Amino acid sequence: MGEPTPSSRSVMGEPTTDGRFGEFGGRFVPETLVAACEELEAAFREAWADPAFVAEFETTLRDYGGRPSPLTECRNLSSQLGLRLLVKREDLNHTGSHKINNVIGQALLAQRMGKTRLVAETGAGQHGVATATAAALLGMECKVYMGAVDVDRQALNVFRMRLLGSEVESVQSGSRTLKDAVNEALRDWVATVENTHYCLGSVMGPHPYPWMVRTFHHILGDEAAAQCKDLTGGDPDVVVACVGGGSNAAGIFSGFADGDARLVGVEPAGGAAVGRGVPGVVHGMTSYLMQDEVGQVMEAESISAGLDYPGVGPEHAYLAAIGRAEYPSVTDDEVVEAFTLMSRAEGIIPALECAHALAWIVRAAPEMQGQTVLMNLSGRGDKDVDQMMDVLGMHGLSE
Amino acid sequence: MSEASPADRAGTLGALETHLRARRDSGAKLLVPYVTGGYQGWQRAVEAAAAAGADAIEIGIPFSDPVIDGPVIQQASTAALAGGATPASVLEEARELDTGIPHAAMTYYNLCHHQGHERFASALLEAGVSAAILPDLPYIEAGPWLEAAASGGIEAILLAAPTTPDHRLAQLCEASRGFVYAIGLLGVTGERKALASTATEIAARCKAVTHRPVLTGVGIGSPQQAVEACEVADGVAVGSAVVRTLMSDGPEAVGELVASYRTALDHG
């Protein structure tokens, strides 16, 4: 274990040299991949210290990705809920979610490292689409692993990835969802590490991924903090984001972690790693993990493919352990109601993932009367309308 | 390198390493088959493999997310788990085995972490298992487990990969107990049409820095490939070929398969 974080440093600062956030994190990968993780860390440190790389990253996100994303004040929901609701519009980014930030960063880094091929896992397909997009932009080969269950419920995103020139492999092993897609992407990387970069989609996996991915998403937290200040004169009272692996939450939390805002990461009831998990080790990291009584990893089950993950990023485990952030969970029914509510009240169809964040805000509104609540709207709901048509019926009516 | 003299170290050798060194020093090439514990007929497969001339056996304890395993061992693990196999049930069944050769458990780190290092080590010991291989626990993260295993009387086998840099390879071979598991290729477990050139390269690199037995595993798909690998390595670990045979033809066929490797290694 490395040194504890000095109090003068940021709550969401750099992990220790052995990749720990408190007791969480690390580099629990097969020996074959240890050197690749070390090489990646060195390359990331070197690139991030190079103003030319940072400028290329920021310029690409601006001119290609559409940054900065706006901050929208939701007047109708605010008056309904008795609070001031601001949403960070990551749904308006190119490819429809926050995922593009991380993917542009990693793809530029992979190219700088001389890698010619990207592999990625995807749940809902948002990270897969973003990776396929970056691969097309930079002329790299790309293969995306997606659980067979998710391939069925996210057919449009599968087609998008193929349209963008990527290969999509339907993963038949295990629970056939996101965790199995991660396993399969790792198996690919073990065999192809010499020319391939694993473009991991969340703040999880072995060091340096949790730190690097959060760093690439820091831009959205910084933007949101500046936008909040312009609009309200200060930080919000509460910052809310959904959490599967936790990348969009890490991005927005990083803009506020050193202030006084309450940080809330909302998990699905069927994938509540912080809420129901115990420390475990899978996918290269020590973190909270849903597992059975002997340590077999449990299958997450949620209405949203993007949050169907039994683990959580190690920095979130750390933020929970030190009490800086809280991680409540919401049920699928609450999510469906929030999905409909936002569509009707604001004319914004949210991704099912971020409908989790709104579902918690609706539930907790009575205790947040008059407060300013910032929610990260991490993705748009276009990908979910087909599935929601089955849930709600043709007329979109919820009973 | 260790502060202990070679003689001191020799005095602390465990059952597996003692046995493998003796066999190697007598001129034999070492053969260590892998069998997925909990899979139907697995105990008979282990006994058949031992009778056919295996020098030690790797017993797989099935895990939900076997990230370094290819399709064959994944399939056997999934079937064993679906059949109700748990670490406790596999170890209970392992305890009933009487093969006359050392047993090593092969599983994933979370099962050890979840139970606690000390309890995991003592559970292995009680089941008559001498050693453990945890392929997703690399040397750089293995410190606490190596300590617990050593004090619990379990030989912690470490894996070396073609991508392991020289400075770490020497440390890793020094820290390993039982043998050094040289991963023969970049990839997951499974049979390949030909032996990868990396298989002999990594074995040679290990042999250059350690006196421990060096066994090549991952990608050994035929007796001929085992012979090729053993031109450099002290022996081979054979997994997918064994498990595929167990699944398709049953435990007795495993004995025949292992015998074919034994014959090739003895006369190849």
Q: Which one-letter amino acid corresponds to residue A322?
A: I
For residue B67, give the nearest of A186, A278, A296 by CB distance. Answer: A186
Contact B26, B113 (CB under 8 A): no
| pLDDT computed for residue A364 by the predictor | 98
Which residue does chain B place closest to A179, by CA atoms?
B65
Q: Which of B112, B133, B140 to mutate to test the interface with A (most CBs of A within 10 A)?
A: B140
Q: Which of A1, A32, A297, A298 to mutate to test the interface with B (most CBs of B within 10 A)?
A: A32
Top-confidence residue, B7 or A192:
A192
Q: Cα–Cα distance between B52 and B44 in angstroms, integer?
A: 12
- What's the pLDDT at A3? 47
B234 an active-site residue? no
B62 min Cα distance to partner chain A (Å) = 9
Between chains, do A30 and B68 touch, taking CB under 8 Å as contact?
Answer: yes
**Nearest chain B CA: its distance from A1 CA (Å):** 10
Q: Taking an 8 Å Cβ-Cβ cutoff, which residues of chain A contact chain B?
A: 18, 26-36, 173-174, 179-180, 183, 186-187, 190-194, 278-283, 286, 289, 291, 294-297
**Under 8 Å CB-to-CB from A226, ≥6 apart: which residues?**
none
- Determine the topology of domain A20-61+99-209 in CATH: Rossmann fold (3.40.50)
Per the CB < 8 Å rule, is A295 touching B74?
no
Alpha-carbon span A110 to B3, nearest angstrom: 42
Domain boundaries, chain B: 28-267
> Residue B96, exposed/middle/buried by CB under 10 A (0-12, 13-18, 19+)?
exposed
Which part of chain A is CATH 3.40.50.1100? 20-61+99-209, 66-97+218-392
> What distances in angstroms separate CA A2 from CA A35, A214, A241, one per listed residue?
20, 20, 30
The alpha-helical segments, DSSP class H, found in A203-323 are 209-232, 247-253, 273-276, 314-321
Structure tokens at A262: 């309450």
> Residue B89's pLDDT band (boundaries 50, 70, 90)?
very high
Query: If we measure between CA atoms, which residue out of A125, A127, A78 comes closest to residue A101?
Result: A127
Judged by CB atoms closer than 8 Å, whether chains meet at A187 and B81 is answered as no
Residue pointed to by tokens 């972690």: A257
Q: Cα A336 vs. chain centroid, distance in angstroms?
A: 20
Inter-chain CB proximity A183 and B67 less than 8 Å: yes
Quick one: which of B46, B184, B31 has its CA closest to B105? B46
Q: Which of A300-304, A370-374, B130-134, B167-171 has the lowest mean pLDDT?
A: A300-304
Is B141 within 8 Å of A191 when comparing Cβ atoms? no
> Contact A28/B138, CB-based, under 8 Å?
yes
Which chain A residues are Cβ-neighbours of B138 within 8 angstroms? 27-31, 34
- Interchain contact, A297 vs B64, CB within 8 Å: yes
Note the pLDDT of residue B136.
97
Q: What is the mean pLDDT of chain B?
A: 94
Q: Which fold has domain A66-97+218-392?
A: Rossmann fold (3.40.50)
Mean pLDDT of each 10-residue bin along chain A, 399 residues long:
55 96 98 96 98 98 98 98 98 97 98 98 93 98 96 90 98 89 94 95 97 98 98 98 97 98 97 92 97 94 88 97 98 97 98 97 98 97 90 72
Tokens standing for A181? 């897609």
Nearest CA in chain A to B77: A174
Min Cα distance A33 → chain B (Å) is 8
- Which chain B residue shows the shortest CA-CA distance from A278? B114
- Put simply, the answer to whether A32 touches B186 (Cβ < 8 Å) is yes
Q: What is the structure's pLDDT at A2?
A: 44
Q: Do B186 and A282 touch (CB under 8 A)?
A: no
3-state secondary structure string, A186-233?
Answer: HHHHHHHCCCEEECCCCCCCCCCHHHHHHHHHHHHHHHHHHHHHHHHC
Chain A interface, mutation test: which of B113, B159, B189, B218, most A Cβ atoms within 10 Å?
B113
Longest dimension (CA), chain A: 57
Give whole-number Cα distances, A335 to A202, A303, A351, B126, B234, in Å.
22, 8, 10, 49, 59
The set of catalytic residues of A is: 74, 98
How far the first Cα of chain B sits from its last, in Å, is 35
Say if the Cβ atoms of A194 and B186 lie within 8 Å: yes
> What is the ipTM score, two decimals?
0.94
CA dist A209 and A214 (Å) reads 8
DSSP state of A269: G
Query: How far is Cα A382 from Cα A393, in angstroms, rounded to an integer?
Result: 16
* Interchain proximity A34–B164, CB inside 8 Å: yes
In this complex, which of A27, A186, A280 lies closest to B113 when CB atoms are compared? Answer: A280
* Predicted local confidence at residue A1, as pLDDT: 43
Task: Answer whether B256 touches A (CB < 8 Å).
Answer: no
Contact A254, A217 (CB under 8 A): yes
The answer, for B38 touching chain A at a CB cutoff of 8 Å, is: no
CB atoms within 10 A of CB B210: 18
Q: How confident is the model at residue B11 (pLDDT cuts 50, 70, 90)?
A: low
**Cβ within 8 Å of residue B261, ≥6 positions away:** B31, B33, B223, B226, B236, B238
- pTM to 2 decimal places: 0.95
Catalytic residue among B69, B155, B228, B234: B69
Contact A84, A186 (CB under 8 A): no
DSSP annotation string for chain B: --SS-HHHHHHT--HHHHHHHHHHHTTPPEEEEEEETTSTTHHHHHHHHHHTT-S-EEEE---S--TT--HHHHHHHHHHHHTT--HHHHHHHHHT---SS-EEEE--HHHHHHH-HHHHHHHHHHTT--EEE-TTS-GGG-HHHHHHHHHHT-EEEEEE-TT--HHHHHHHHHH--S-EEEE-SSS-S---SS--HHHHHHHHHHHHH--S-EEEESS--SHHHHHHHTTTSSEEEE-HHHHHHHHHH-HHHHHHHHHHHHHHHHH-
Q: CA-to-CA distance for B47 and B244, rounded, in angstroms? A: 17
Check whether B15 has a pLDDT greater than 70: yes
B163: chain A residues, CB-CB within 8 Å = 31-36, 193
CA gap A185, B175 in Å, rounded: 30
Nearest to A297 among B65, B137, B187 (CB): B65
Q: Which pair of structure tokens corresponds to residue B10?
A: 């020799």
Chain B contact probe: residue of A17, A24, A28 with most B CBs at under 10 A? A28
CATH superfamily, region B28-267: Aldolase class I (3.20.20.70)
pLDDT at A312: 97
The residues facing B104 across adjacent strands are: B58, B131
Q: How confident is the model at residue B90 (pLDDT cuts 50, 70, 90)?
A: very high
pLDDT given for residue A396 in this prediction: 67
Residue B110: which of A27, A36, A282 has the nearest Cβ? A282
Measure A114 CA to nearest chain B CA, in Å. 17
B6 vs B76, higher pLDDT? B76
The two beta strands, B131-133 and A117-122, are unpaired
pLDDT confidence bin for B10, thresholds 50/70/90:
very low
